[in-house]
Amino acid sequence: MSSSANHYRSPLRDIEFNLFEALRVQDSAFGQGPFEGMTEEIARDALVALDRVSAQKFGASLVPGDREPPTYDPETQQVTLPQALKDAIDAYHEGGWEALALPEALGGFGATPSLHWGAFEMPTAANPAVPFYAFGAFIASVVYRLGTPEQRSRFLPRMLDEHWGGAMVLTEPNAGSDVGAARAKARPIGGDIWAIEGIKRYITNGEYDHAKNIMHLVLARPEGAKPGTKGLSMFFVPKLWIDEDGRTHDNFVRCIGLEKKMGLKGSVTCEMSYGEGGVTRGFLAGEVHDGIRQMFHVIEHARMGVGCKSMAQLSQGYQHALAYAKERVQGADLMRATDKTAPRVEIIRHPDVRRMLMAQKAHSEGMRALCLFTASIQDQVALLGGHADPKAKALDRLNDLLLPLVKGYNSEKAYELLSLSLQCYGGAGYMQDYPIEQYIRDQRIDAVYEGTTHIQSLDLLFRKVARDGGETLRGLLGRVEQSLKDAEGGEALADVRARLARGLADVQGIFMALMGKMGESLYHVGLQGNRVLAALAEIVIGWLLVRHAAIAQAKLDDGAKGSEADFYRGKVASARWFCRNVLPGLTLTRKLVEDSALDLMELPDGAF
């Protein structure tokens, strides 16, 4: 039976299905524009190789990072990683896998976002801490995109050659998610160099002993700047200062504490001090005071990563539960429950176990479809010139609309469904003999960091939907309508499409009802926002699963055999189950939004 020791289970077949059968990125993006050098053969070979190293190298570091986590020495203010994690990080760099996150101009792989995020799932499923420690490659791309020529030349060669670490530095002890309340200060000290002072908290990988240097992207407020987020600027702050001649010096970037966490212990979470004991120097990113806008692209990347992480860990939980259910023998078939002579059967024969397994299967496949559909939109944005190009505006807004779904829905739902992974094991799942309990602890943070679920829902409704009067939302739902008009999947999926159509009508009704309620009070958005985000995510996932089922049904009609036939039957089953068991819940959500009341906001605090 599966155990924690060798826990990684390959998701490769479904990644390939999404990329090459459903999205057909080999036609829509490969060989074009910035991806001119990418081919289907290169992409498939890379995925196979990364799948193999995830199983052989990265997965082995998951349990040691939890049982023997990184340690903090208050005397030296340094963090030491366990050897298993160091070995995994070394294997990542030796394989050159950070190149998936880099443009070709920086020696990157020339990967599309869809290929990058498809590949990202595998090391993340094996041990999410490993790609987190490789975040420095993405930070290098930020320096390349935003930095001045002098900033690029000073940092980029060494960042890439020496595999620097990287950290996003926003949160402060007094501010939490209210980034605009940050107190960290910046003051010019000569030329284009600034002194940074302040305390930051919950900084992922802010300090550890297995990187020659760590580049911190720090939000701080220049002296005299306005309050709130618009007064913040972003600074490139290396742990060790690099002189113009290349010499390194202490930059007084200090870890003053390591958080003791419920899970994800292999990824260090630091409290950081800047300017303690000396001057912490940094460069103003691009020599422009536009910190929150500059940082937001980094935040969006991180939110995409968190949503993909949640999906990856749910997929692992499901695959382990499935393997256990096929092997564990307990009880008689329910149809012969009163027959004392009936043979004992594998628990996958029991209806409730099948229900739990299909809930995990349909959702994990749906979440993967959501992640990679979103990534394919990012492909098209890049092909049209990127975020700043007017030609890409409509698709860029669609990507912005989808990101709260990827992050908010996946992180919430994965935690709920990983409990079903554990439930399939019974009491055994609660033990450390199996990896499920660690998956649950490691995943729980996803609904909290990089913006809580409710922050995602407010972002969706106030920024993404309201920004253009619902035009992007209508365009997304129009894609669902078009699939229904095209009768994708033919007669074989007619009943599934009918359920999808009902769900679509409910989601449209949900948004109409909420718009009306907003005229009464914005508190209705606060009370109902999470439900609305989930409803939109579920109709998009239902749509994607139906499209996948149509492809699978065609393969079955064409005579798919053996394991491939089983794979495609599973695709049809996932869509059918999701549309039958999840989408009807949108009718209830619509009723709850229509009946939204404000009495909860009027209740005295003492009554809670």
Q: Are both 215 and 91 inside the same structural domain?
A: no
Residue 1 has pLDDT above 70, yes or no: no
In a domain, 151, yes or no: no
pLDDT confidence of residue 425: 98
Q: Are both 96 and 181 inside the same structural domain?
A: no
- CATH number at 225 reads 2.40.110.10
Q: Are both 512 and 592 inside the same structural domain?
A: yes
Final residue of a structural domain among 236, 261, 289: 289
Single out the catalytic residue among 365, 450, 488, 538: 450
Q: Are both 118 and 187 inside the same structural domain?
A: no
Residue 462 has pLDDT above 60, yes or no: yes
Looking at every residue in the chain, the average pLDDT score rounds to: 96
In a domain, 382, yes or no: no
Q: Are both 80 and 19 inside the same structural domain?
A: yes
- Residues 147-163 have pLDDT tens digits of 999 999 999 999 999 99
How many percent of the chain have pLDDT more than 90?
A: 94
Final residue of a structural domain among 235, 262, 289: 289
Q: Confidence band (pLDDT; 50, 70, 90) for 94?
A: very high
Alpha carbon separation from 73 to 78, 79, 258, 362, 427 (Å, rounded): 6, 7, 9, 45, 37
pLDDT confidence of residue 5: 66
β partners of residue 165: 214
pLDDT confidence of residue 244: 87
Q: Where on the phi/psi map is residue 277: left (φ > 0), alpha (ψ -120 to 50), or beta?
A: left
pLDDT confidence of residue 568: 98
Average pLDDT over residues 478-491: 98
Q: Confidence band (pLDDT; 50, 70, 90) for 523?
A: very high
Would you state the structure tokens that stand for residue 249, as one six-digit string? 């010096």
pLDDT confidence of residue 178: 81
pLDDT confidence of residue 3: 60
pLDDT confidence of residue 182: 86
In a domain, 303, yes or no: no
Average pLDDT over residues 484-492: 97
Residue 179 has pLDDT above 90, yes or no: no
Q: Are the C-beta atoms of 445 and 302 separated by less than 8 Å?
A: no
Q: Are both 133 and 186 inside the same structural domain?
A: no
Q: Are both 491 and 591 inside the same structural domain?
A: yes
Q: Confidence band (pLDDT; 50, 70, 90) for 64?
A: very high
In a domain, 346, yes or no: no
Q: Are both 547 and 505 inside the same structural domain?
A: yes
Q: Are both 101 and 211 inside the same structural domain?
A: no
What is the CB-side half-sphere exposure of residue 410 using CA atoms within 13 A? 33
Q: How many domains does the chain have?
A: 3
Q: Which of 395, 400, 415 is nearest to 464 (CA)?
A: 400
In a domain, 344, yes or no: no
pLDDT confidence of residue 289: 95
Beta carbons within 8 Å of 159's beta carbon, 6+ residues apart = 136, 139, 140, 143, 213, 215
Final residue of a structural domain among 289, 322, 337: 289
What is the CB-side half-sphere exposure of residue 364 using CA atoms within 13 A? 30
Residue 176 has pLDDT above 90, yes or no: no
In a domain, 391, yes or no: no
- Residues 299-336 have pLDDT tens digits of 999 999 999 999 999 999 999 999 999 999 999 999 99
pLDDT confidence of residue 4: 66
Q: Are both 86 and 212 inside the same structural domain?
A: no
In a domain, 599, yes or no: yes
- Residues 359-405 have pLDDT tens digits of 999 999 999 999 999 999 999 999 999 988 999 999 999 999 999 99
- 259 part of the active site: no
Task: Note down the domain range covering 44.
Answer: 12-143
Average pLDDT over residues 438-460: 97
Q: Are both 468 and 607 inside the same structural domain?
A: yes
In a domain, 385, yes or no: no
Q: Are both 594 and 475 inside the same structural domain?
A: yes
